[in-house]
C-alpha cells in the first residue's frame, strides 16, 4: 500500500512525462497515462474550439470537462486554476477577466510549469502567472480569489478534503468555484484501484460521487450544483492491460460507472447590517 507522498511523487513523475507528449497521445489514453486506445480517440477531454482565448498549443488533452465555460468569470476577477498544466484553462480565464484581472495557475510539476510559462510569454500575458505548489497547501493568500477553476485534477490528490478546505480558505467571501473531475458510482475492480498508472490516469484516484459532493458541503460551501455530468467509457483495449477476461466481463456487466462531473459551489458572503459588516 503506497503512502500519500509516494502516490503524489508517482503522479508528479508521470505528469513530467505527459508534459512532453502530444495532445493526441494524451486524449486517446486516460489523462496521458499508460498506452493509447485504438478503439476511442477522445476518452475524457472535450473540445475547447468554441471558447475565446483557446490556444491549441496549451491544450495537452488532459481535461475531463470545460469548467471555465460555467465559471461565471467577470472582468477584473482574480482567478485561480488548480493543477494548471500547460496553461490551457488559465488562458481561457484570462480572456474572461480581461487585462484588468489576474489569473494564477498552481501546479507541482516543473515540466508543466515551464511549458505554461513559455506559453504565457509567447502571448505577452503579464497578468497570468504560474506558481509551483501542492494544491493541498496552496501558495495563495487567504480571501484573495474571486473564482477557482480546475480540470480533472482533484482525483489525483489523495487528500481531497484538504483541497476543498484550501479552496475555502483562499476564496473571498462571496467567491465561487467551477471544477470538472472524475467520480464513481460503484466500486472499481481491485486491479484498477491499486495501479499507479490508472491513478495518474484519473481513474483509480476517483471517489464516489456522493462522497465527493458531500466533501464540498462539509467544507462549508453552499449552492452546490452539478452543472454537467457525462459517462466516461474506458475502452477494452486499455482495461485488458489490468483486468483478466473474466474481470472485464464482470466490470462491464456490473453497476460501476465512471463519470465526469462539473460542479459549481459558493463561499458565503459576509452578512452586513449597515455601512460595516457585523459578521
pLDDT of residue 204: 67
pLDDT of residue 166: 98
pLDDT in tens, 8-55: 887 778 777 777 765 655 444 444 445 544 554 455 567 777 788 877
pLDDT of residue 179: 97
The closest of 25, 97, 104 to 62, measured between CA atoms, is 25
The pairing of beta strand 78-82 with beta strand 102-107? parallel
Q: What are the cell numbers at 253?
A: 456487466
pLDDT of residue 28: 42
Instruction: Note the pTM of the prediction, 2 decimals.
Output: 0.86
Residues of the chain scoring pLDDT < 70: 1, 21-45, 194-204, 272-279
| Percent of the chain whose predicted confidence (pLDDT) is above 90 | 52
Residue 50, class by beta-carbon neighbours within 10 Å (0-12 exposed, 13-18 middle, 19+ buried)? exposed
Q: What are the cell numbers at 217?
A: 458541503
Ordered domains of the chain (ranges, CATH): 4-265 (3.40.50.150)
pLDDT of residue 44: 56
Amino acid at each position: 500500500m503506497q503512502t500519500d507522498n509516494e502516490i503524489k511523487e508517482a503522479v508528479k513523475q508521470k505528469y513530467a512525462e505527459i508534459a512532453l507528449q502530444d495532445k493526441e497521445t494524451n486524449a486517446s489514453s486516460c489523462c496521458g497515462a499508460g498506452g493509447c486506445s485504438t478503439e476511442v480517440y477522445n476518452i475524457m477531454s472535450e473540445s475547447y474550439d468554441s471558447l475565446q482565448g483557446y490556444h491549441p498549443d496549451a491544450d495537452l488533452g488532459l481535461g475531463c470537462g470545460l469548467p471555465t465555460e460555467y465559471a461565471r468569470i467577470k472582468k477584473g476577477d482574480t482567478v485561480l486554476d488548480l493543477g494548471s498544466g500547460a496553461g490551457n484553462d488559465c488562458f481561457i480565464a484570462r480572456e474572461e477577466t480581461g487585462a484588468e484581472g489576474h489569473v494564477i495557475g498552481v501546479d507541482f510539476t516543473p515540466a508543466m510549469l515551464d511549458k505554461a510559462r513559455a506559453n504565457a510569454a509567447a502571448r505577452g500575458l503579464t497578468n497570468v502567472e504560474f506558481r509551483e505548489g501542492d494544491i493541498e497547501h496552496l501558495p495563495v493568500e487567504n480571501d484573495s480569489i474571486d473564482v477557482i477553476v480546475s480540470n480533472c485534477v482533484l482525483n489525483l490528490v489523495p487528500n481531497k478534503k484538504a483541497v476543498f478546505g484550501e479552496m475555502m480558505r483562499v476564496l473571498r467571501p462571496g467567491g465561487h468555484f467551477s471544477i470538472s473531475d472524475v467520480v464513481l458510482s460503484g466500486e472499481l475492480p481491485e486491479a484498477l484501484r491499486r495501479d499507479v498508472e490508472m491513478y495518474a490516469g484519473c481513474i483509480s484516484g476517483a471517489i464516489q460521487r456522493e462522497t465527493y459532493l458531500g466533501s464540498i458541503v462539509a467544507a462549508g460551501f453552499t449552492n452546490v450544483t452539478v452543472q454537467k455530468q457525462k459517462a466516461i467509457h474506458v475502452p477494452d483495449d486499455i482495461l485488458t492491460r489490468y483486468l483478466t477476461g473474466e474481470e472485464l466481463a464482470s466490470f462491464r456487466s456490473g453497476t460501476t460507472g465512471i463519470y465526469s462531473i462539473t460542479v459549481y459551489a459558493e463561499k458565503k458572503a459576509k452578512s452586513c447590517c449597515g455601512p460595516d459588516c457585523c459578521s
